Amino acid sequence: MITAHHITKEYPSGEGAVAALRGVDLTVETGEFVCIMGQSGSGKSTLLTILGGMCHPGSGSVEVDGTAIYRLDDNGLADFRARHFGFIFQSFHLVPYLTAQENVMLPLAPLAMAAAEKRRLANDALARMGLAGCTGRLPGRLSGGEQERVAIARAVVNRPAILFADEPTGNLDSATSDQVMGLFTELHQAGQTIVMVTHNPDNGHYAQRTIRLKDGLLL
Ligand SMILES: Nc1ncnc2c1ncn2[C@@H]1O[C@H](COP(=O)(O)OP(=O)(O)OP(=O)(O)O)[C@@H](O)[C@H]1O
């Protein structure tokens, strides 16, 4: 469960600070699939990166299953992210010169675990995404939808408590988007907590709950 209390965030800018978040309170229950929507610039990505332990808020706190994550030191926070969170971004961010299997193994790098076990977990995650036959392929030899499924496999390889996704279908055609949202639905039905930012109202329909941001505040 995530509990965010009165999150604020300002970014420095030429004409004074930009207030990206102006006091957001939010709870996401374990097993929920929550979609964050709002116009461009409303603060969606900022909120996701703060909930996901990637950016300290200006003020406020984020607790995940009872741990106040921003009270951890940098190493503690990195370790917490590696153990409990998975991330999917719009542009996949696959490493082009690593195979699908090697890309999926990346989040396991900081964890003390034998290489053979890391390979096994990566192959399992790829198989769950229907990519058992693609483990040795480079991203450039995969379709856009397959690359996105490798990115999802990489995000779930550590069996994260929470999966964060920022515009996961932003670069995909509508049929492939539907496939990806179908995979999210399956993960959710298997108990996965998912927090997803999207512009796309069609994607919002897959979520259990939609929250809307406007000018850095929840509507
Ligand atoms: N690194 C940064 N430096 C300065 N301003 C920023 C930075 N990141 C975001 N902002 C500003 O903060 C506000 C919120 O941005 P954010 O990216 O969180 O919104 P968003 O709703 O995700 O937008 P989009 O849908 O376009 O991705 C915007 O006004 C944006 O210009």
Block means of pLDDT (10 residues each) for the chain, 219 residues, are 97 88 97 95 96 96 97 94 89 90 92 91 92 94 90 91 91 81 90 93 89 95
Q: Which of 44, 91, 218 to mutate to test the pocket of ligand 1 (most atoms within 8 A of CB)?
A: 44
Residue nearest to atom 6 of ligand 1 (CA): 11
What type of residue is 200? N
**Ligand 1 centroid, distance to 49 Cα (angstroms):** 11
ipTM metric: 0.97
- Which residues lie below 8 Å from residue 35, measured CB to CB, with a gap of 6+? 196, 197, 198, 203, 204, 206, 207, 209, 210, 211
pLDDT, residue 19, reads: 94
Domain boundaries, the chain: 2-218
**Ligand 1 centroid, distance to 11 Cα (angstroms):** 9
pLDDT, residue 180, reads: 84
Ligand 1 atom with minimal separation from the 45 CA = 22
Q: Provide the β-strand partners of residue 21.
A: 9
Task: Please give the Cα distance from 78 to 72 (Å, whole number).
Answer: 9
The CATH code for residues 2-218 is: 3.40.50.300
Residue nearest to atom 24 of ligand 1 (CA): 40
pTM for this prediction: 0.92
Residue nearest to atom 26 of ligand 1 (CA): 40
Residues touching ligand 1 (Cβ under 6 Å) are: 11, 13, 18, 20, 38, 40-46
